[in-house]
A and B are shown apart, each in its own frame.
Chain A
Protein backbone atom coordinates (compact mmCIF):
# COMPACT_ATOMS: atom_id res chain seq x y z
CA UNK A 1 0.00 0.00 0.00
CA UNK A 2 2.56 2.52 1.20
CA UNK A 3 6.23 1.88 0.69
CA UNK A 4 9.07 4.10 1.83
CA UNK A 5 12.33 2.91 0.45
CA UNK A 6 15.70 4.30 1.37
CA UNK A 7 14.24 7.67 2.27
CA UNK A 8 16.88 10.14 3.30
CA UNK A 9 16.49 13.71 4.53
CA UNK A 10 19.16 16.02 5.89
CA UNK A 11 18.27 19.41 7.31
CA UNK A 12 20.63 22.40 7.26
CA UNK A 13 23.14 20.54 5.14
CA UNK A 14 26.63 21.95 5.30
CA UNK A 15 26.06 23.99 8.45
CA UNK A 16 26.91 23.34 12.07
CA UNK A 17 23.24 22.53 12.59
CA UNK A 18 23.29 19.74 10.04
CA UNK A 19 20.89 17.04 11.11
CA UNK A 20 20.25 13.73 9.45
CA UNK A 21 16.52 13.41 10.08
CA UNK A 22 15.91 10.29 8.04
CA UNK A 23 18.75 7.93 7.29
CA UNK A 24 17.74 5.43 4.63
CA UNK A 25 14.34 4.74 6.11
CA UNK A 26 12.45 1.68 4.87
CA UNK A 27 8.85 0.95 5.78
CA UNK A 28 6.04 -0.94 4.12
CA UNK A 29 2.38 -0.73 5.09
CA UNK A 30 -0.33 -3.15 4.02
CA UNK A 31 -3.83 -1.98 3.34
CA UNK A 32 -5.75 -1.61 6.60
CA UNK A 33 -2.64 -1.41 8.79
CA UNK A 34 -2.95 0.86 11.79
CA UNK A 35 0.63 1.60 12.75
CA UNK A 36 1.64 3.47 15.87
CA UNK A 37 5.06 5.09 15.75
CA UNK A 38 7.14 5.88 18.82
CA UNK A 39 10.65 7.12 19.31
CA UNK A 40 12.63 9.79 21.13
CA UNK A 41 12.82 13.44 20.20
CA UNK A 42 14.57 13.83 16.87
CA UNK A 43 14.10 10.19 15.91
CA UNK A 44 12.49 11.32 12.66
CA UNK A 45 8.84 10.41 13.36
CA UNK A 46 7.32 13.71 12.31
CA UNK A 47 9.80 14.09 9.48
CA UNK A 48 8.66 10.73 8.15
CA UNK A 49 5.04 11.90 8.06
CA UNK A 50 6.09 15.18 6.45
CA UNK A 51 8.01 13.29 3.76
CA UNK A 52 4.96 11.16 3.02
CA UNK A 53 2.79 14.30 2.85
CA UNK A 54 5.33 16.15 0.70
CA UNK A 55 5.95 19.06 3.07
CA UNK A 56 9.65 18.97 2.18
CA UNK A 57 11.31 17.44 -0.88
CA UNK A 58 13.15 14.15 -0.41
CA UNK A 59 16.95 14.10 -0.59
CA UNK A 60 16.85 10.56 -1.95
CA UNK A 61 14.70 7.46 -1.92
CA UNK A 62 11.09 6.96 -2.99
CA UNK A 63 7.60 7.12 -1.54
CA UNK A 64 5.15 4.81 -3.29
CA UNK A 65 1.43 4.76 -2.62
CA UNK A 66 -0.75 2.05 -4.17
CA UNK A 67 1.94 1.43 -6.76
CA UNK A 68 2.28 5.09 -7.77
CA UNK A 69 5.55 6.85 -7.09
CA UNK A 70 4.45 10.07 -5.37
CA UNK A 71 7.96 11.20 -4.38
CA UNK A 72 7.95 14.13 -6.79
CA UNK A 73 4.39 15.31 -6.26
CA UNK A 74 3.77 18.59 -4.48
CA UNK A 75 2.10 18.71 -1.08
CA UNK A 76 -1.25 19.86 -2.43
CA UNK A 77 -1.23 17.21 -5.15
CA UNK A 78 -0.60 14.43 -2.61
CA UNK A 79 -3.43 15.75 -0.48
CA UNK A 80 -5.94 13.82 -2.60
CA UNK A 81 -4.64 10.56 -1.09
CA UNK A 82 -3.99 11.73 2.44
CA UNK A 83 -5.91 12.80 5.51
CA UNK A 84 -3.77 14.65 8.04
CA UNK A 85 -4.11 15.77 11.64
CA UNK A 86 -1.36 17.83 13.22
CA UNK A 87 -0.05 18.20 16.74
CA UNK A 88 -1.06 21.86 16.93
CA UNK A 89 -4.87 22.10 16.99
CA UNK A 90 -4.58 25.56 15.39
CA UNK A 91 -2.92 24.12 12.29
CA UNK A 92 -5.70 21.90 11.09
CA UNK A 93 -8.54 24.39 10.80
CA UNK A 94 -9.17 27.91 9.48
CA UNK A 95 -10.01 30.00 12.54
CA UNK A 96 -11.85 32.84 10.78
CA UNK A 97 -14.08 30.51 8.80
CA UNK A 98 -17.25 28.81 9.95
CA UNK A 99 -17.36 25.17 11.04
CA UNK A 100 -19.39 24.21 7.97
CA UNK A 101 -17.04 26.16 5.67
CA UNK A 102 -14.08 24.27 7.09
CA UNK A 103 -15.81 20.95 6.52
CA UNK A 104 -16.80 22.00 2.99
CA UNK A 105 -13.15 22.78 2.21
CA UNK A 106 -12.14 19.36 3.51
CA UNK A 107 -14.88 17.55 1.60
CA UNK A 108 -13.41 18.92 -1.64
CA UNK A 109 -9.90 17.66 -0.84
CA UNK A 110 -8.27 16.43 -4.03
CA UNK A 111 -11.08 17.73 -6.22
CA UNK A 112 -10.84 20.49 -8.75
CA UNK A 113 -12.28 23.61 -7.19
CA UNK A 114 -14.76 25.33 -9.47
CA UNK A 115 -16.97 28.40 -9.45
CA UNK A 116 -19.85 26.41 -8.05
CA UNK A 117 -21.09 27.58 -4.66
CA UNK A 118 -18.67 26.52 -1.94
CA UNK A 119 -21.23 24.72 0.22
CA UNK A 120 -24.67 23.26 -0.49
CA UNK A 121 -27.75 22.83 1.68
CA UNK A 122 -27.58 19.04 1.41
CA UNK A 123 -23.99 19.15 2.61
CA UNK A 124 -24.99 21.06 5.71
CA UNK A 125 -27.29 18.21 6.76
CA UNK A 126 -24.51 15.76 6.14
CA UNK A 127 -22.14 17.84 8.30
CA UNK A 128 -24.70 18.13 11.05
CA UNK A 129 -24.93 14.35 11.17
CA UNK A 130 -21.16 13.93 11.07
CA UNK A 131 -20.65 16.48 13.85
CA UNK A 132 -23.26 14.71 15.97
CA UNK A 133 -21.07 11.58 15.95
CA UNK A 134 -18.39 13.57 17.78
CA UNK A 135 -20.73 14.00 20.74
CA UNK A 136 -19.45 17.51 21.45
CA UNK A 137 -22.67 19.39 20.70
CA UNK A 138 -21.13 21.03 17.64
CA UNK A 139 -23.98 19.99 15.33
CA UNK A 140 -25.98 23.04 16.41
CA UNK A 141 -23.09 25.45 15.87
CA UNK A 142 -22.52 24.99 12.14
CA UNK A 143 -22.08 28.69 11.41
CA UNK A 144 -19.83 29.47 14.38
CA UNK A 145 -16.29 30.54 13.58
CA UNK A 146 -13.85 27.73 14.37
CA UNK A 147 -11.67 30.22 16.24
CA UNK A 148 -14.30 30.29 18.99
CA UNK A 149 -13.78 26.59 19.78
CA UNK A 150 -11.40 24.95 22.24
CA UNK A 151 -8.27 23.08 21.17
CA UNK A 152 -9.94 19.72 21.74
CA UNK A 153 -13.00 20.67 19.73
CA UNK A 154 -10.81 21.96 16.92
CA UNK A 155 -8.78 18.76 16.94
CA UNK A 156 -11.96 16.67 16.78
CA UNK A 157 -13.10 18.74 13.79
CA UNK A 158 -9.71 18.33 12.13
CA UNK A 159 -10.03 14.59 12.55
CA UNK A 160 -13.46 14.74 10.97
CA UNK A 161 -12.09 16.91 8.16
CA UNK A 162 -9.27 14.46 7.49
CA UNK A 163 -11.70 11.59 7.02
CA UNK A 164 -14.79 13.32 5.59
CA UNK A 165 -13.59 12.34 2.16
CA UNK A 166 -12.13 8.93 2.85
CA UNK A 167 -8.34 9.11 2.49
CA UNK A 168 -6.17 6.26 1.25
CA UNK A 169 -3.88 6.92 4.17
CA UNK A 170 -4.48 8.78 7.43
CA UNK A 171 -1.50 10.55 9.02
CA UNK A 172 -1.77 11.51 12.68
CA UNK A 173 1.17 13.50 13.98
CA UNK A 174 1.00 13.43 17.79
CA UNK A 175 -2.50 14.72 17.40
CA UNK A 176 -3.36 14.42 21.10
CA UNK A 177 -0.07 15.70 22.54
CA UNK A 178 -1.29 19.29 22.97
CA UNK A 179 -4.57 18.33 24.65
CA UNK A 180 -5.44 17.80 28.31
CA UNK A 181 -5.67 14.11 29.32
CA UNK A 182 -9.46 13.95 29.26
CA UNK A 183 -9.78 15.61 25.85
CA UNK A 184 -6.89 13.54 24.54
CA UNK A 185 -8.71 10.37 25.58
CA UNK A 186 -11.86 11.57 23.82
CA UNK A 187 -9.99 12.40 20.60
CA UNK A 188 -8.23 9.02 20.71
CA UNK A 189 -11.57 7.28 21.13
CA UNK A 190 -12.88 9.18 18.09
CA UNK A 191 -9.75 8.23 16.20
CA UNK A 192 -10.35 4.57 16.94
CA UNK A 193 -13.98 4.86 15.80
CA UNK A 194 -13.12 6.66 12.58
CA UNK A 195 -10.35 4.22 11.69
CA UNK A 196 -12.45 1.16 12.51
CA UNK A 197 -15.47 2.37 10.56
CA UNK A 198 -13.80 1.94 7.20
CA UNK A 199 -10.60 0.14 8.08
CA UNK A 200 -8.44 3.14 7.21
CA UNK A 201 -4.76 2.60 6.71
CA UNK A 202 -3.28 4.81 9.42
CA UNK A 203 0.04 5.99 10.77
CA UNK A 204 -0.15 7.52 14.23
CA UNK A 205 2.92 9.13 15.74
CA UNK A 206 2.72 9.34 19.51
CA UNK A 207 4.83 10.00 22.57
CA UNK A 208 2.56 7.93 24.71
CA UNK A 209 3.76 4.30 25.00
CA UNK A 210 0.52 3.19 26.51
CA UNK A 211 -1.48 4.50 23.53
CA UNK A 212 1.07 3.05 21.13
CA UNK A 213 0.63 -0.40 22.62
CA UNK A 214 -3.13 -0.18 23.05
CA UNK A 215 -4.05 1.12 19.60
CA UNK A 216 -3.43 -0.32 16.18
CA UNK A 217 -2.27 -3.68 14.87
CA UNK A 218 1.35 -2.75 14.46
CA UNK A 219 3.99 -0.75 16.33
CA UNK A 220 7.12 0.80 14.91
CA UNK A 221 9.95 2.28 16.96
CA UNK A 222 12.27 4.79 15.36
CA UNK A 223 15.69 6.08 16.34
CA UNK A 224 18.18 8.20 14.41
CA UNK A 225 16.01 8.32 11.32
CA UNK A 226 15.47 4.59 10.98
CA UNK A 227 13.05 1.90 12.05
CA UNK A 228 14.71 -0.08 14.84
CA UNK A 229 11.79 -2.22 15.94
CA UNK A 230 8.71 -3.35 14.09
CA UNK A 231 6.14 -5.61 15.73
CA UNK A 232 2.62 -6.61 14.74
CA UNK A 233 -0.42 -8.75 15.45
CA UNK A 234 -0.23 -11.26 18.28
CA UNK A 235 3.26 -10.26 19.21
CA UNK A 236 2.23 -6.63 19.55
CA UNK A 237 -0.80 -7.56 21.61
CA UNK A 238 1.49 -9.25 24.12
CA UNK A 239 3.79 -6.25 24.29
CA UNK A 240 4.41 -4.48 27.58
CA UNK A 241 5.87 -1.16 28.38
CA UNK A 242 8.88 -2.79 29.93
CA UNK A 243 9.67 -4.52 26.65
CA UNK A 244 9.53 -1.25 24.79
CA UNK A 245 11.69 0.47 27.37
CA UNK A 246 14.27 -2.26 27.08
CA UNK A 247 14.23 -1.96 23.29
CA UNK A 248 14.53 1.72 23.56
CA UNK A 249 17.37 1.65 26.01
CA UNK A 250 19.20 -0.72 23.77
CA UNK A 251 18.93 1.76 20.91
CA UNK A 252 19.28 5.07 22.64
CA UNK A 253 21.46 4.24 25.63
CA UNK A 254 21.69 6.72 28.45
CA UNK A 255 19.69 9.50 26.79
CA UNK A 256 16.59 7.55 27.62
CA UNK A 257 16.28 8.82 31.19
CA UNK A 258 15.72 12.37 29.97
CA UNK A 259 13.21 11.56 27.35
CA UNK A 260 9.61 12.53 27.70
CA UNK A 261 8.60 9.04 26.59
CA UNK A 262 8.95 8.17 30.26
CA UNK A 263 5.81 10.16 30.89
CA UNK A 264 3.77 7.70 28.88
Chain B
Protein backbone atom coordinates (compact mmCIF):
# COMPACT_ATOMS: atom_id res chain seq x y z
CA UNK B 1 0.00 0.00 0.00
CA UNK B 2 2.75 2.43 0.99
CA UNK B 3 4.56 1.63 -2.21
CA UNK B 4 1.41 2.32 -4.18
CA UNK B 5 1.01 5.67 -2.44
CA UNK B 6 4.62 6.61 -3.11
CA UNK B 7 4.10 5.74 -6.75
CA UNK B 8 0.95 7.85 -6.76
CA UNK B 9 2.82 10.87 -5.38
CA UNK B 10 5.52 10.67 -8.04
CA UNK B 11 2.91 10.18 -10.76
CA UNK B 12 0.94 13.08 -9.35
CA UNK B 13 3.95 15.38 -9.49
CA UNK B 14 4.85 14.46 -13.07
CA UNK B 15 1.25 14.86 -14.19
CA UNK B 16 1.23 18.07 -12.14
CA UNK B 17 3.44 19.60 -14.81
CA UNK B 18 0.65 18.91 -17.28
CA UNK B 19 -1.90 20.35 -14.85
CA UNK B 20 0.09 23.62 -14.85
CA UNK B 21 -0.31 23.66 -18.61
CA UNK B 22 -4.04 23.02 -18.39
CA UNK B 23 -4.27 25.72 -15.72
CA UNK B 24 -2.94 28.29 -18.20
CA UNK B 25 -5.57 27.56 -20.82
CA UNK B 26 -8.52 26.66 -18.61
CA UNK B 27 -8.17 29.12 -15.75
CA UNK B 28 -6.31 32.03 -17.33
CA UNK B 29 -7.51 31.93 -20.91
CA UNK B 30 -10.92 30.41 -20.17
CA UNK B 31 -10.48 27.80 -22.90
CA UNK B 32 -10.78 24.06 -22.34
CA UNK B 33 -7.93 23.10 -24.63
CA UNK B 34 -8.44 19.55 -25.87
CA UNK B 35 -5.08 19.55 -27.68
CA UNK B 36 -3.71 18.43 -24.34
CA UNK B 37 -4.62 14.72 -24.79
CA UNK B 38 -2.66 14.64 -28.03
CA UNK B 39 0.28 16.78 -26.98
CA UNK B 40 0.89 14.74 -23.83
CA UNK B 41 1.24 11.59 -25.91
CA UNK B 42 3.25 13.55 -28.48
CA UNK B 43 5.76 14.62 -25.82
CA UNK B 44 6.05 11.00 -24.69
CA UNK B 45 6.34 9.57 -28.19
CA UNK B 46 8.97 12.06 -29.37
CA UNK B 47 10.97 11.53 -26.21
CA UNK B 48 10.78 7.71 -26.45
CA UNK B 49 11.67 7.44 -30.09
CA UNK B 50 14.64 9.81 -29.74
CA UNK B 51 16.04 7.76 -26.86
CA UNK B 52 15.34 4.34 -28.33
CA UNK B 53 15.98 4.86 -32.01
CA UNK B 54 18.50 7.67 -32.09
CA UNK B 55 20.28 7.05 -28.79
CA UNK B 56 19.60 10.60 -27.84
CA UNK B 57 20.57 11.98 -24.43
CA UNK B 58 17.47 11.60 -22.20
CA UNK B 59 17.61 15.27 -21.13
CA UNK B 60 17.68 16.40 -24.77
CA UNK B 61 14.80 14.04 -25.47
CA UNK B 62 12.78 15.72 -22.73
CA UNK B 63 13.55 19.07 -24.32
CA UNK B 64 12.45 17.77 -27.71
CA UNK B 65 9.20 16.45 -26.22
CA UNK B 66 8.55 19.90 -24.78
CA UNK B 67 9.23 21.60 -28.12
CA UNK B 68 6.93 19.14 -29.87
CA UNK B 69 4.20 20.18 -27.43
CA UNK B 70 4.87 23.84 -28.19
CA UNK B 71 4.42 23.14 -31.91
CA UNK B 72 1.15 21.27 -31.27
CA UNK B 73 -0.07 24.26 -29.24
CA UNK B 74 0.90 26.57 -32.08
CA UNK B 75 -1.21 24.54 -34.53
CA UNK B 76 -4.27 24.80 -32.28
CA UNK B 77 -3.53 28.47 -31.69
CA UNK B 78 -3.25 29.27 -35.39
CA UNK B 79 -6.42 27.34 -36.23
CA UNK B 80 -8.19 29.33 -33.54
CA UNK B 81 -6.80 32.83 -34.12
CA UNK B 82 -6.07 32.85 -37.83
CA UNK B 83 -9.18 31.02 -39.00
CA UNK B 84 -11.55 31.82 -36.11
CA UNK B 85 -12.25 28.15 -35.48
CA UNK B 86 -13.79 27.86 -31.99
CA UNK B 87 -11.05 26.96 -29.49
CA UNK B 88 -12.67 23.68 -28.44
CA UNK B 89 -12.97 22.51 -32.03
CA UNK B 90 -9.44 23.68 -32.92
CA UNK B 91 -8.18 21.60 -29.99
CA UNK B 92 -10.13 18.54 -31.08
CA UNK B 93 -8.79 18.84 -34.63
CA UNK B 94 -5.20 18.96 -33.41
CA UNK B 95 -5.80 16.19 -30.91
CA UNK B 96 -7.26 13.85 -33.55
CA UNK B 97 -4.49 14.54 -36.03
CA UNK B 98 -1.89 13.96 -33.32
CA UNK B 99 -3.18 10.41 -32.89
CA UNK B 100 -2.08 9.60 -36.43
CA UNK B 101 1.08 11.67 -36.13
CA UNK B 102 2.09 9.92 -32.91
CA UNK B 103 1.62 6.52 -34.56
CA UNK B 104 3.75 7.73 -37.48
CA UNK B 105 6.46 8.94 -35.12
CA UNK B 106 6.62 5.67 -33.19
CA UNK B 107 5.78 3.36 -36.08
CA UNK B 108 3.80 1.22 -33.63
CA UNK B 109 1.49 1.84 -30.72
CA UNK B 110 3.97 1.23 -27.90
CA UNK B 111 7.69 1.88 -27.47
CA UNK B 112 9.43 0.47 -24.36
CA UNK B 113 12.53 2.18 -22.91
CA UNK B 114 13.50 -0.72 -20.67
CA UNK B 115 17.10 -1.06 -21.75
CA UNK B 116 17.80 2.62 -22.05
CA UNK B 117 18.98 5.27 -19.64
CA UNK B 118 16.44 7.82 -18.51
CA UNK B 119 17.00 11.04 -16.58
CA UNK B 120 15.75 9.20 -13.52
CA UNK B 121 17.98 6.13 -13.91
CA UNK B 122 21.11 8.22 -14.57
CA UNK B 123 20.57 10.29 -11.44
CA UNK B 124 19.69 7.17 -9.45
CA UNK B 125 22.93 5.60 -10.69
CA UNK B 126 24.95 8.65 -9.72
CA UNK B 127 23.47 9.10 -6.26
CA UNK B 128 22.71 5.52 -5.32
CA UNK B 129 19.19 6.43 -4.21
CA UNK B 130 16.24 4.25 -5.28
CA UNK B 131 14.64 5.33 -8.52
CA UNK B 132 11.20 5.84 -6.93
CA UNK B 133 12.69 8.48 -4.61
CA UNK B 134 14.58 10.10 -7.47
CA UNK B 135 11.38 10.37 -9.50
CA UNK B 136 9.72 12.32 -6.71
CA UNK B 137 12.77 14.55 -6.15
CA UNK B 138 13.33 15.32 -9.83
CA UNK B 139 9.59 15.78 -10.43
CA UNK B 140 9.35 18.14 -7.46
CA UNK B 141 12.37 20.10 -8.69
CA UNK B 142 10.68 20.52 -12.08
CA UNK B 143 7.40 21.51 -10.45
CA UNK B 144 9.02 24.10 -8.16
CA UNK B 145 11.06 25.59 -11.00
CA UNK B 146 8.01 25.75 -13.26
CA UNK B 147 5.77 27.32 -10.62
CA UNK B 148 8.45 29.93 -9.98
CA UNK B 149 8.94 30.50 -13.71
CA UNK B 150 5.21 30.83 -14.38
CA UNK B 151 4.78 33.15 -11.41
CA UNK B 152 7.46 35.39 -12.86
CA UNK B 153 6.11 35.21 -16.41
CA UNK B 154 2.54 36.07 -15.50
CA UNK B 155 3.80 39.05 -13.54
CA UNK B 156 5.55 40.55 -16.57
CA UNK B 157 3.97 42.91 -19.08
CA UNK B 158 3.45 40.10 -21.57
CA UNK B 159 2.08 37.77 -18.89
CA UNK B 160 -0.29 40.45 -17.60
CA UNK B 161 -1.51 41.04 -21.14
CA UNK B 162 -2.16 37.33 -21.42
CA UNK B 163 -4.19 37.25 -18.20
CA UNK B 164 -6.09 40.33 -19.37
CA UNK B 165 -6.94 38.56 -22.64
CA UNK B 166 -8.55 35.69 -20.76
CA UNK B 167 -10.35 38.11 -18.51
CA UNK B 168 -11.78 40.63 -20.94
CA UNK B 169 -10.92 40.37 -24.58
CA UNK B 170 -12.57 43.53 -25.86
CA UNK B 171 -10.90 45.59 -23.13
CA UNK B 172 -7.56 44.02 -23.99
CA UNK B 173 -7.85 45.01 -27.63
CA UNK B 174 -8.92 48.52 -26.65
CA UNK B 175 -5.71 48.72 -24.61
CA UNK B 176 -3.62 47.72 -27.61
CA UNK B 177 -3.12 44.07 -26.78
CA UNK B 178 -2.97 41.81 -29.82
CA UNK B 179 -5.27 39.14 -28.43
CA UNK B 180 -4.50 36.74 -31.26
CA UNK B 181 -0.84 36.62 -30.33
CA UNK B 182 -1.45 36.44 -26.58
CA UNK B 183 -3.76 33.46 -27.13
CA UNK B 184 -1.22 31.85 -29.41
CA UNK B 185 1.55 32.31 -26.85
CA UNK B 186 -0.65 30.91 -24.08
CA UNK B 187 -1.55 27.82 -26.10
CA UNK B 188 2.09 27.23 -27.02
CA UNK B 189 3.26 27.64 -23.44
CA UNK B 190 0.48 25.42 -22.13
CA UNK B 191 1.10 22.61 -24.58
CA UNK B 192 4.85 22.91 -24.08
CA UNK B 193 4.27 22.09 -20.42
CA UNK B 194 1.95 19.26 -21.40
CA UNK B 195 4.59 17.88 -23.80
CA UNK B 196 7.23 18.18 -21.07
CA UNK B 197 4.96 16.29 -18.71
CA UNK B 198 4.43 13.57 -21.34
CA UNK B 199 8.18 13.20 -21.82
CA UNK B 200 8.80 12.95 -18.07
CA UNK B 201 5.98 10.44 -17.62
CA UNK B 202 7.34 8.37 -20.51
CA UNK B 203 10.79 8.24 -18.91
CA UNK B 204 9.50 7.41 -15.45
CA UNK B 205 7.17 4.62 -16.62
CA UNK B 206 9.76 3.48 -19.16
CA UNK B 207 7.48 3.32 -22.16
CA UNK B 208 5.50 5.57 -24.45
CA UNK B 209 2.07 4.52 -25.53
CA UNK B 210 -0.29 5.92 -28.14
CA UNK B 211 -3.07 6.00 -25.54
CA UNK B 212 -1.09 7.61 -22.72
CA UNK B 213 -2.74 10.99 -23.20
CA UNK B 214 -6.32 9.79 -23.45
CA UNK B 215 -8.44 11.68 -20.96
CA UNK B 216 -5.52 13.88 -19.89
CA UNK B 217 -7.68 16.99 -20.07
CA UNK B 218 -10.13 15.46 -17.59
CA UNK B 219 -7.30 14.57 -15.21
CA UNK B 220 -6.08 18.15 -15.56
CA UNK B 221 -9.47 19.67 -14.86
CA UNK B 222 -10.09 17.30 -11.94
CA UNK B 223 -6.71 18.20 -10.43
CA UNK B 224 -7.38 21.92 -10.78
CA UNK B 225 -10.80 21.55 -9.20
CA UNK B 226 -9.42 19.47 -6.31
CA UNK B 227 -6.64 22.02 -5.83
CA UNK B 228 -9.16 24.87 -5.71
CA UNK B 229 -11.32 23.09 -3.16
CA UNK B 230 -8.27 22.35 -1.00
CA UNK B 231 -7.19 25.99 -1.34
CA UNK B 232 -10.60 27.18 -0.18
CA UNK B 233 -10.50 24.83 2.80
CA UNK B 234 -7.11 26.16 3.87
CA UNK B 235 -7.31 28.92 6.47
CA UNK B 236 -6.60 32.25 4.82
CA UNK B 237 -8.23 31.02 1.60
CA UNK B 238 -5.12 30.96 -0.56
CA UNK B 239 -6.01 33.29 -3.41
CA UNK B 240 -2.65 34.64 -4.53
CA UNK B 241 -1.45 33.63 -7.95
CA UNK B 242 1.49 31.58 -6.74
CA UNK B 243 -0.69 29.60 -4.34
CA UNK B 244 -3.15 28.88 -7.15
CA UNK B 245 -0.29 27.40 -9.16
CA UNK B 246 0.90 25.33 -6.21
CA UNK B 247 -2.68 24.22 -5.57
CA UNK B 248 -2.89 22.91 -9.14
CA UNK B 249 0.14 20.65 -8.60
CA UNK B 250 -1.07 19.58 -5.15
CA UNK B 251 -4.48 18.84 -6.69
CA UNK B 252 -2.75 16.55 -9.16
CA UNK B 253 -0.96 14.66 -6.36
CA UNK B 254 -4.21 14.30 -4.40
CA UNK B 255 -5.97 13.09 -7.54
CA UNK B 256 -3.42 10.29 -8.00
CA UNK B 257 -3.55 9.44 -4.31
CA UNK B 258 -7.34 9.07 -4.47
CA UNK B 259 -6.90 6.99 -7.57
CA UNK B 260 -4.33 4.72 -5.92
CA UNK B 261 -6.57 4.27 -2.90
CA UNK B 262 -9.72 3.39 -4.81
CA UNK B 263 -7.71 1.01 -6.99
CA UNK B 264 -6.34 -0.65 -3.83
CA UNK B 265 -9.90 -0.92 -2.58
CA UNK B 266 -10.59 -3.06 -5.62
CA UNK B 267 -12.08 -0.67 -8.15
CA UNK B 268 -11.59 -1.59 -11.78
CA UNK B 269 -8.87 0.64 -13.31
CA UNK B 270 -11.09 1.10 -16.35
CA UNK B 271 -13.71 2.84 -14.22
CA UNK B 272 -11.22 5.52 -13.19
CA UNK B 273 -12.07 7.78 -16.15
CA UNK B 274 -15.74 7.67 -15.17
CA UNK B 275 -14.82 8.66 -11.63
CA UNK B 276 -12.65 11.55 -12.91
CA UNK B 277 -15.44 12.82 -15.13
CA UNK B 278 -17.85 12.65 -12.21
CA UNK B 279 -15.46 14.62 -9.98
CA UNK B 280 -15.20 17.38 -12.58
CA UNK B 281 -18.93 17.43 -13.35
CA UNK B 282 -19.87 17.60 -9.67
CA UNK B 283 -17.28 20.28 -8.95
CA UNK B 284 -18.60 22.42 -11.81
CA UNK B 285 -22.24 21.80 -10.92
CA UNK B 286 -22.10 22.40 -7.18
CA UNK B 287 -21.46 26.17 -7.26
CA UNK B 288 -24.29 26.66 -9.78
CA UNK B 289 -26.77 24.61 -7.76
CA UNK B 290 -25.66 26.34 -4.57
CA UNK B 291 -26.24 29.78 -6.05
CA UNK B 292 -29.70 28.79 -7.28
CA UNK B 293 -30.51 27.42 -3.86
CA UNK B 294 -29.39 30.68 -2.23
CA UNK B 295 -31.51 32.70 -4.67
CA UNK B 296 -34.57 30.62 -4.00
CA UNK B 297 -34.07 30.86 -0.28
CA UNK B 298 -33.74 34.64 -0.35
CA UNK B 299 -36.82 34.82 -2.59
CA UNK B 300 -38.81 32.70 -0.15
CA UNK B 301 -37.76 35.02 2.68
CA UNK B 302 -39.11 37.97 0.74
CA UNK B 303 -35.86 39.05 -0.84
CA UNK B 304 -34.27 40.40 2.31
CA UNK B 305 -31.01 38.54 2.03
B contact residues, range: 20 to 34
Q: Which of A28-36, A98-106, A190-198, A240-248 contacts B (4 or more CB under 8 A)?
A: A98-106
Name the one of A90, A93, A111, A115 contacting B176, with C-beta atoms under 8 angstroms: A111
Is the C-beta of A116 less than 8 angstroms from some C-beta in chain B? yes
| B60: Cβ under 8 A from any A Cβ | no
Q: Are B160 and A101 in contact (CB under 8 A)?
A: yes
Task: Flag if B171 contacts A93 (CB, 8 Å).
Answer: yes
A117–B155 touching, CB < 8 Å: yes
Of chain B, the residue at the smallest CB distance from A93 is B171
Question: Assuming A101-B160, A114-B158, A118-B156, is B168 touching A109 (CB within 8 A)?
Answer: no
Q: Distance (Å) between the CB of A128 and the closest chain B CB?
A: 19
User: Is there contact, CB below 8 Å, between A76 and B171?
Assistant: no
**160-195 of chain A: CB within 8 A of chain B:** 161
Interface centre among B161, B163, B164, B174 (most CB of A within 10 A): B174
- Nearest-Cβ distance from residue B10 to partner chain A, whole angstroms: 33
B136-170 CB contact bits vs A (8 Å, 1 = yes)? Answer: 00000000000000000101111111011001101
Q: Which of B157, B170, B172, B177 contacts A118 (CB 8 A)?
A: B157
- Asked if B273 is at the interface (CB within 8 A of a chain A CB), the reply is no
Q: Mark A61-93, 1 if CB is under 8 A from B, else 0.
A: 000000000000011110110101010001111
Given contacts A101-B160, A118-B160, A95 and B168 within 8 Å (CB-CB): yes
* Cross-chain contact B156 with A117 (CB below 8 angstroms): yes
Q: How far is the CA of A86 from the CA of B172 in the complex (A)?
A: 13
Task: Count A interface residues, CB 8 Å.
Answer: 34
Known: A53-B174, A109-B176, A161-B175. A116 touches B156 (CB 8 A): yes
Q: Which residues of B contact A101 (CB under 8 A)?
A: 160
A106 close to B155 (CB less than 8 A): no
**Assembly CA distance A7 to B161 (angstroms):** 32
A74: chain B residues within 8 A (beta carbon): 178
Question: Please, could you name 14 A-B residue pairs with CB atoms under 8 Å apart, sorted by A?
Answer: A75-B173, A76-B173, A76-B178, A79-B174, A86-B170, A96-B167, A97-B163, A101-B160, A108-B176, A114-B158, A115-B156, A117-B155, A118-B156, A161-B175
Q: Which 7 A-B pairs have the closest CB atoms?
A: A79-B176, A118-B160, A94-B167, A113-B157, A75-B173, A94-B168, A109-B176
Residues of B that sit less than 8 Å from A by CB: 153, 155-161, 163-164, 167-168, 170-179
